[in-house]
């Protein structure tokens, strides 16, 4: 199997079809990565396609200081962020507007399992922390690769990851406590047509 750098040299020297090998090698990992930022598969597909096209156009700027995979992932993450930013500025779904969640908190927590709660807390993290966390835990990348993808210093990538984990720990623990409390308290109620009714003792 040819090394990435050999294929890249071939493409740079005009052998366009050689790029096909890179697409085959990285389309799955890139799609998986992109789908962590966009749950919508059709949007993710567009992002993957755009990323490969950008990579092809800019291939001359790739100097081999990092791996092609990190470089491509960097393009993918940036393309995803731009695309999602554009999409969110186009319109805002009325259901996405939060109008004070305190009243729903207890009943939401009751129906949420741990994984769901973690997923929603991960989504609430600041952008850079969330990216560092996803790249580290789900993609199993080194901090050097994460730094390259996020275009930031190595220590910053690590700090973002650490802060994400510390924040998550605090929030998940608080939610677990709240859930336990809610379950205990809610055992005195039952639900009738979406309303909570107190059980007479």
Partner 1 sequence: MNRFDQETRDEWWIEFMEGEVSPSLERDLKFLLCHSQEDRQRLNEYKELRSEIEASDDSYLPENGYYYQNQHDSIMAAIENIEMDEPRAPIHERPFISKFKKFRPLFGTGFTALAFVIVGVFALKSIELQKSEDQGLIEFKELVQNEAEQKILLAAQESHRSIGFESETDMLRELAAQKFGQLSDAQAKALMNQLLE
Span of 28-36, 71-79, 177-185, 191-199 interacting with partner 1 by CB under 8 A:
28-36
Strand-pairing partners, residue 190, are 197
Is residue 119 involved in binding partner 1 (CB under 8 A)? yes
Is residue 56 involved in binding partner 1 (CB under 8 A)? yes
Do the beta carbons of residue 181 and residue 188 sit within 8 Å? no
Q: Give how far the C-alpha of residue 59 lies from the chain's centroid of Cα atoms, to the nearest Å.
A: 26
**What secondary structure letter does DSSP report for 138?**
I
Is residue 169 involved in binding partner 1 (CB under 8 A)? yes
Is residue 73 involved in binding partner 1 (CB under 8 A)? no
Figure out which of the listed residues 5, 105, 166, 197 binds partner 1, where binding follows CB under 8 A.
Answer: 166
Residue 25's nearest CA partner among 2, 46, 43 is 2
Tokens of residue 108, six digits: 């939401």
Do the beta carbons of residue 79 and residue 50 sit within 8 Å? yes
CB atoms within 10 A of CB 8: 21
Q: How many residues does the chain have?
A: 201
Figure out which of the listed residues 10, 43, 110, 165 binds partner 1, where binding follows CB under 8 A.
Answer: 165
| Shortest Å distance, C-beta 195 to partner 1 | 31
Binding region for partner 1 (CB under 8 A) = 11-12, 16-17, 19-20, 23-24, 27-28, 31-32, 35-36, 41, 45, 48-49, 52-53, 56-61, 114-116, 118-119, 122, 133, 136-138, 143, 158, 161-162, 165-166, 168-169, 172
């Amino acid at each position: 199997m040819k090394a990435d750098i050999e294929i890249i040299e071939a493409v740079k020297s005009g052998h366009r079809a050689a790029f096909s090998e890179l697409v085959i090698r990285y389309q799955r990992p890139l799609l998986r990565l992109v789908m962590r930022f966009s749950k919508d598969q059709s949007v993710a597909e567009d992002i993957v396609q755009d990323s490969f096209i950008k990579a092809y156009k800019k291939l001359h700027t790739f100097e081999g200081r990092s791996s092609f995979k990190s470089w491509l992932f960097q393009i993918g993450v940036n393309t995803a962020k731009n695309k999602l930013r554009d999409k969110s500025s186009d319109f805002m779904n009325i259901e996405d507007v939060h109008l004070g969640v305190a009243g729903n908190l207890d009943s939401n927590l009751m129906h949420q399992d741990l994984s769901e709660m973690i997923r929603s807390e991960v989504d609430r993290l600041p952008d850079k922390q969330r990216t560092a966390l996803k790249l580290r835990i789900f993609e199993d990348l080194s901090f050097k690769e994460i730094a390259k993808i996020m275009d930031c210093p190595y220590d910053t990538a690590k700090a973002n990851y650490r802060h994400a984990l510390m924040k998550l720990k605090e929030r998940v623990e608080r939610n677990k406590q709240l859930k336990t409390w809610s379950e205990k308290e809610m055992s005195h109620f039952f639900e009738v047509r979406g309303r909570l009714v107190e059980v007479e003792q």
